[in-house]
Amino acid sequence: MKLAFQLAYRNLLGAGLRTWLNVGVLSFAFVIIIFYNGWIDGWNQQARRDSIAWQYGFGQLQVATFDPFDPFSITDAHAALPAEDDHLTPVLLRLGTLYPQGRTMSIVVKGIDVNQTVVDLPTSALTASKSDLPAIIGEQMALASHLKTGDEVLLRWRDIHGTFDAATVTIAGVFPNQVPGIDKGQIWVPLKKLQDMTLMPDEATYFIADANFQHTEIAGWKYRSQEDLLYEINNIIKMKKMGGSVMYLLLLAIALLAIFDTQVLSVFRRQKEIGTYISLGMTRQQVVGLFTVEGAMTSIFAAVLGALYGTPLLGWIAHTGIAVPMNSQDLGIPIADRMYPVFGLGLILATLMLVVISATIVSFLPSRKIAKMDPVQALKGKIQ
């Protein structure tokens, strides 16, 4: 077997250009497989990443009675935190009614610290606005309410005692996003303003944690970790993996097609060589082994070559992402849309294993033909 490896190694190096062509193509296929899967994973995880960036942060500390899916719970879900924490960004939720063009929309008014940086919400637009009560809304909300930047609209809400109040809100910006949780049926206003409006100074409905937040039990509050908040999205991602795995197999098929193709040609072209091996005393099985090892070794060379240029390339792409130009005219606040592929170590190792193993199998299949060859004819190079 050792001989087979040595011979295979020499044969491959000896073949020069042809080997490198194969190795090159195979390594490219190899990198593409990883890139593709990373991309699909990135695509699947987009919702997860967006939700973290726009909505969940690194977890949320919520008033214990708050139930994000029960608007009724919002009325009573407000409290002040016993001690301030620099790693928490307060958000206060209140029910309100918006009257765009005489229509009625029941909405949630969300007050957020205008200087926050924990989520991507463009709260700086709230600071920049000169209006008395500025608000930013998501593009879905803009679409549903027919509101655009600069529009004024009447908002009615109730203060802590249930007394009605109403004021004109100026839309300071419309932000494009893919996260319905921060967009549909809601408007974002400065926290201080909302606290004043509702007579709820220093109160919040929940806090968004940053990366350095350390949770300790606080009576009347519940902490929901990032993973906890992402439960649903994680489930969807799991389901979508299925679709990705089919892709993976299809991509693997290209790589194997390349190996198979090369191998068939090798067996055909190198008949004299095969004849020589057999006449020198190698058994047919050993020759089959030699050719199989050659094929498998091509895939290992490909993996090494692929790793050489693929690692920095993919690493760079994963880091900087790929800009996806979006047609976002008159949406107000431009936000660069980037797609970040996700390359897991598991994915890379599994791909490596799978490519080498399947390359070996695919190399073996055409080589079996050797076992049926007449060595004399083969030695003569006669096509059989």
The smaller minimum CB distance to other proteins, of residues 39 and 277, is found at: 39
Q: Name residues whose C-beta falls within 8 Å of residue 331's C-beta, 6 or more positions apart in sequence.
A: 139, 142, 174, 175, 176
* Contact set for other proteins, span 90-119 (CB under 8 A): 95, 97, 99, 102-106
Q: How many CB atoms lie within 10 A of CB 206?
A: 24
Q: Look at strands 88-99 and 105-112 and give their pairing.
A: antiparallel
* φ, ψ of residue 237 in degrees (nearest 5): -60, -40
Cα of first residue to Cα of last residue in the chain, in angstroms, is 27
- For residues 294 and 15, the answer to whether their CB atoms sit within 8 Å is no
Q: Does 354 bind other proteins (CB under 8 A)?
A: no
Long-range contacts of 73-82 (CB under 8 A, 24+ apart): 74/108, 74/205, 77/205, 78/160, 78/198, 78/200, 78/203, 78/204, 78/205, 79/203, 79/204, 79/220, 79/221, 80/201, 80/202, 80/203, 80/204, 81/202, 81/204, 81/207, 81/218, 81/221, 82/218
The smaller minimum CB distance to other proteins, of residues 11 and 210, is found at: 11
Tell me, what amino acid is at 298? T
User: What is the maximum span of the chain, computed from C-alpha positions, in angstroms?
Assistant: 103
* Contact set for other proteins, span 186-225 (CB under 8 A): none
Which range touches other proteins (CB under 8 A), out of 49-57, 188-196, 281-289, 323-331?
323-331
The binder of other proteins chosen from 64, 128, 257, 304 (CB under 8 A): 257
CB of 383 vs other proteins, minimal distance in Å: 8
Q: Does 292 bind other proteins (CB under 8 A)?
A: no
CB of 319 vs other proteins, minimal distance in Å: 18
Q: Does 58 bind other proteins (CB under 8 A)?
A: no
Which range touches other proteins (CB under 8 A), out of 2-10, 214-222, 229-237, 286-294?
229-237
- For residues 290 and 278, the answer to whether their CB atoms sit within 8 Å is no
CB of 140 vs other proteins, minimal distance in Å: 5
Q: Does 268 bind other proteins (CB under 8 A)?
A: yes
* Contact set for other proteins, span 153-182 (CB under 8 A): 154, 156, 158-159, 161-167, 176, 178
Q: Does 14 bind other proteins (CB under 8 A)?
A: no
CB of 164 vs other proteins, minimal distance in Å: 5
Helix and strand element counts for the chain (H, E):
11, 13
Q: Does 25 bind other proteins (CB under 8 A)?
A: yes
Which range touches other proteins (CB under 8 A), out of 22-30, 122-130, 218-226, 351-359?
22-30
The binder of other proteins chosen from 49, 116, 192, 244 (CB under 8 A): 244
